[in-house]
Every structure is written in C-alpha cells, then in structure tokens.
Amino acid sequence: MASFESRRAEAVAQMIEKHGGRPLCAPTLREVRIEALTPELRAFYDALKAGEVDLVVLMTGVGTRMLHELYQEHLGADDLPKLLDRCTVVARGPKPTAVLRGWKLKPNIEVPEPNTWRELLDEVKATGELTGKRIAVQEYGMSRVELLDGLAEAGATVTRVPIYRWALPEDIEPIRAAITKIVAGEVDYALFFSATQVYHLMQVADEMGQREALVEAFGRVCVGSVGPVTSEAIIANGFQADYEPDAPHMPQLVGELARRGADLLQKKRIAAANGVNTNRWRRIDMDWSAEGVRAAGYTATTIDDSVFMKACRREPTPHVPVWLMRQAGRFQREYRELRSGYTMVEFCRASEVAAEVTLMAADRLGTDAAIIFQDILLPLESMGFDLDYVKGYGPKIANPLRERGDLERVKPGSAADMAYVDEAVRLTRKALRPDVALIGFVGAPFTVASYAIEGGKSRDFKHTKSLMLRDGEAWERFMGVLSDLLAGCLVSQVDAGADAVQVFDSWGGVLSPDRYEAFVLPYTKKIVDAVHAHRAGVPVIAFATGNPALVPLLKETGADVVGLDWRSDLREAIEQLGDDVAVQGNLDPTALYATPGQLRREVEALLAKVGDRPGYIFNLGHGISPDMDPVRVAELVDLVHELSARGETAWA
C-alpha cells in the first residue's frame, strides 16, 4: 500500500500494518512557512484593525495558528483573535474551528466535512448579499482559484492571505521509488490524503518521463482518496479514485479500504483485463466476462455461488447472508452527491444513475445482495395518479381516489411504462459481481393503494379503511387492477435480470389479521403466484411491518421468504412459519445507534434465535435512518459475516 502522506507518514504506516498491509511510504510534501511579514499579510492585519474586512474564510487550523504567530513575531501584536471577533468568520471544517475555540471564539459558520470549494462558496453566499463585501481568504499550499473567482463573480472584493506553501521534500528518492514500483505492477493500493500529494507525485513522474506509464498503471491499482478535493485532483491528472470515505479522515480511508479494498481491486483488475478504461469509468461500465476474470488471475463465479440465493432456497451457507433495506440512501454522502440536482421521480427514471447508486451501496457495504433503486409509488403514475415528492413531507398525490366514481379516471396502467426500472435492472445485473444477487421489488397492493387513496402519508388510514369497508366492489376493482399492474412490473424486472424480488407491505400492519386475510391477502398472493408462474426458481420475499399477528398470513401468500419487522420475535416467528419457508430480518434499525459492544450483543442475540436452521437472511426490521453513521452500517455487515462464519463448514 503506497502512501504519499508526509506530516503523519509514520501514523499512516502503522494503520496500514495494523490492518495487515505492507506500507510503502513516499512523503510528497514539505511545509514551508512564510517567515517574513509579506505586504499581503501586513495589509490584511491593517485592514482588520481598521474594520475594513467584513468576512474572513479560514481554510486550515495550521494556517490560522501560523497567522497569529507571524503577527506576534513581527508586530508584537497579540490581538488577532480580538480582530477576527469583529468579522463574520467562516471556518472550513473542524480544524480552524478548534483553533478559534482555543481563543474562546466560535466561527459564525463551520462548513461541515467533507467539502470542496463549491460547498464553501455556497456557505459564504448563504451569509447574504456579497456585492461590495470585503472578504479575506486564508490560503494554504496553493490558491483555490475557483473559490476566489466565485466570490469575485458574486460581487465581493477578495483579498488573498497566503500563510505557507507546499514544496517537494528535499529527498525525492522515495517518491521516485514508489513510481517505479507502481509502474512495475508491484503496488496494489495507493492512498492520497491531499490534492497537493497528487500534483507533487505527478510532477516527479513528469521529471522521470513516467507520467503516461504511471497513469496507465493506476488503472490496475486500487486508488483511495481522503475526500472530494483530493478526488478532483486525481481526476484532473488522468486517473480515478476507487474509494472515498464518507468522513474525510485518514483512519476511515485506511480502515474502509482494509475491509473493501480486496473486492474493489479484484473488480478493477478484471475490468481492465476486459478492456474497460478503469481510469475513466462508472460502476455500470463493469465487465465480468470470464476471459477477463481468468486473465486477471481470479476464479469466475456465477449466481449459483450466491449465499443469498442459497439461503432463499433454505440450503446450507458458509455464513448468514446480509442485505439492508434502504442500503442506498441519504445516510451516504455519495448517494447525496448522485441524487443532487434530481427530483425523486427524475432520479428513479434516470436508469444509469439508479443503477449506479444500487451498485454503490453493494460496493461500499459488501452486502450479499443489492436491491434496485426505485420507489414503490411510481406505478401509480401509469394509472393516472398525479405523484409528487414534497421536501420535508414525502410523497403526495394531488388526485386521490376516494369514491367509486373516481375509478372511472383510473387507468389499468402498463408495466411498459416502468421500462426505466427494467433498464436499471439490466445495467445493474450486468455490472454487479456475478455471485451477488440482485433484488427487484414492488410495493404491496395495500400499501400502494393506501397512498393512492389517502393522497400521502396517514396516521389512521381512514379513507382507505372506509372505502374498503363501505364499498367492497370498488375496493375489489381497484385492488384487482393495481395488483395486475404490480405483478406485471415484477415479472418485467425478473425478465430484465432480477434474481429475487420483494413485495413491500409497509402499511399492512395497520389491519387486523381478519381484515388482512379478507381484503389484502388475495391480491398479494396474486403477485407472488404471477412471479412463480412466469419464472420457476425466482425467490419472492413478502415483507410487512407493524403487526406480528400477520406473520402466518405472509406465508399464505406463497412467498419463498417471509420478511419480519422488528416487532416480531424471531424465534417465535420461525416456529410459526415452520421449515418450508426462509426467514428474513429483523434487527431494530435503532440498534445502529447503540455502542459497538451493544450492537454486537444485539446481532449475537438474533443469530442465537435462529440457531442452526438453514434459510435465514439477516436484515433490519425496516430501512436505515437518514442520519445513520455509514461506518456503523458497515460494522453491522461485518459483524453478521464474522459472527455467523463457519469456515468451510456450512452455516446449517
């Protein structure tokens, strides 16, 4: 593992060794402090003292501290903290904030990490109108020209405050040696912790006449980037980061590459062997052709090797398979970046992006199955419902169905209208590792109908239950048309490449067992039967939340797997269901907020309830919360694999 860190080179080497890697340290930076009080620094101090600075952007903690030291040394002035307190101060991340707190100051705005100049510019603009404002930017290493230009374009007068610069180390032989090893194919991983490290490495490569060869070699190396700014520098120099942690810190990058790096490296080298340009690629460009797999030195796998599919069939597995509902979601920074600029409907309709985010979750978490990214309410558009997603509220339907007469405007809909989902399935299945299963899904008829009738979320479902009880004929007509459409959507996803499918009944638990059996079960069963009739061997998962009393009825749908929410006791549910159906679930999602030790005990307790029964799939009892720490989610996946592993002996 090649690391180009300088200041903390030894610490990074120790991290790499702790995780079983062999460090190749090649420091690329030497910090050169500006020793003299330059005219720019003197002018900035005088402007602060005269009250002629409106806003100060502090980019680094080191630079903020150095600025104070320079004024102390050359002017005998100890009043920088006092002068800053008279301005609006924007701190880029926690390090300059920590320096300010040491001076008993608080920034007016702390820009959360990770960030680029874009987020920083947005935060400064959010302070108000910038026309005529006098803004000073404390710089480090090199100027961030895009930030300075963006502030100037917004009407501000911008002053640069350079504190220190980066230079190459006096001894560049370790860098030269690292370049030689990378080009020779003797390096598996390359870790970058700043943009300047990238630029300095390429500067030395230029001097050696090895830039082109180095960029080409990076196409077969797993490249880790600490954060967005570093990744931008990597892209600017002709190659690409394969992993960027959600939190831009050294331990996270090293630790997460230790857990996911082998799979990412394997994938990259297979792709390169199959002719994919791995220095400029998306996840959906992956090619798993057997020839490339063998050429890269790996053994080809197929869906027959999937532990998830084996568990669905109640066969022995080497460990308990795990996937998580909402495993692609707002808790991940990369998801938020991919989602940026799209409405929810646009995002789901953009097949390539939906496939990319589906693959992203499996890549980052290492789950045994991926679930296609879409939304359960999209089929309603095909039926003539006006669907929108309102920020802070959720899905809203402007023309809900409330009376029998409203059925006249309801169209039968067509699975063909959901072709964008099928295309996302095709793209994902092609690019997904062959032994990782892909799950397609639809909402269950009752849940989708509830949204269509209520017009959005509901606490009491009074409109839905009222129609169901007051006008049975209207209910049957609507549920019949809806279940036909949903069945067609699932069948299309299977044809597009889904290995298994799930039917989500998120609101089914608001009904008593009697009402569920009479008014809902026949329509969910129709969907399950349609999939089985269309393609034998495709597992169907039936999942409902809210009422453990419905568990036996979920089995009556004919599903191959019954998914449980956290309200059900896993051991009791298994006893109720018997040995002829697989079980999925059902950790309470809030357990992810617990301490690592408590989370481990929670997982151990669930696995103990399963015992040696084959046919168990680990999942949450519902989706991952948007504010969840991605590191905790990854820890959960690893815990399940670790605690259920039986070496070469099947978990059965």
pLDDT profile of the chain (652 residues), mean per 10: 95 96 96 84 94 94 91 94 95 94 95 85 92 92 86 95 90 98 98 96 98 98 95 96 93 95 97 97 96 94 96 96 96 92 92 97 97 96 94 90 93 95 98 98 97 93 95 96 98 98 95 96 98 96 95 97 96 95 96 95 96 95 94 96 69 33
Question: Which position has the token pair 């072709």?
Answer: 419
Residue with tokens 């009738």: 453
Residue written as token pair 């997603």: 389
End-to-end CA distance of the chain: 38
| Exposure string over 53-69, b if 16+ CB within 10 A, otherwise e | bbbbbbbbbbbbbbbbe
State yes or no: is 164 an active-site residue. Answer: no
- Neighbour order of strands in the sheet with 2-3: 24-25, 2-3, 189-192, 222-225
**Strands 55-58 vs 134-141: parallel, antiparallel or unpaired:** parallel
Region label for 523, one of left (φ > 0), alpha (ψ between -120 and 50) or beta (otherwise): alpha
| Domain 32-167 CATH assignment equals 2.30.30.790 | no
Q: Is residue 8 annotated as a catalytic residue, yes or no?
A: no
Neighbour tally for 36: CB within 10 Å: 9
* Cβ–Cβ < 8 Å for 348, 420: yes
State both tokens at 241: 């980061």
Q: Give the DSSP letter of residue 50.
A: T
Tell me the torsion sign for CA atoms 503, 507, 509, 510: negative
Q: Which of 451, 516, 523, 616 is catalytic?
A: 451
Residue of 265, 188, 200, 190 whose CA lies nearest to 225: 190
Distance CA 138, CA 99 (A): 14
Question: Which CATH architecture is the domain 2-29+169-295 placed in?
Answer: 3-Layer(aba) Sandwich (3.40)
Q: Is 459 a catalytic residue?
A: no
pLDDT of residue 24: 97
Domain with CATH 3.40.50.10090 in the chain: 2-29+169-295, 32-167
Give the pLDDT of residue 168.
95
Alpha-carbon torsion (432, 434, 437, 443), positive or negative: positive
pLDDT of 652: 33
Residue 198 has a pLDDT of 97
Range(s) of the chain covered by CATH 3.20.20.210: 303-644
Catalytic residue among 211, 326, 364, 433: 326
d(CA 614, CA 574): 11
Catalytic residue list contains 451: yes
Query: Residue 452 in contact with residue 443, Cβ under 8 Å?
Result: no
Residue 563: count of CB within 10 angstroms of its CB: 26
The pTM assigned to this predicted structure is 0.89
Torsion region of 104: left, alpha or beta (phi above 0 gives left; psi -120 to 50 gives alpha) = left
249 touches 273 (CB < 8 A)? no
Q: Which of 461, 287, 440 is nearest to 370 (CA)?
A: 440
Instruction: Examine the residue annotation and report whether 326 is marked as an active-site residue of this protein.
Output: yes
Contact 227, 114 (CB under 8 A): yes
Helices (H), 141-289: 145-153, 173-183, 195-208, 211-218, 228-236, 250-273
Q: Which of 7, 30, 282, 330 does the annotation list as catalytic?
A: 330
Q: Choose which CATH entry (3.40.630.10, 3.40.50.2300, 1.20.1250.20, 3.20.20.210) describes domain 303-644.
A: 3.20.20.210
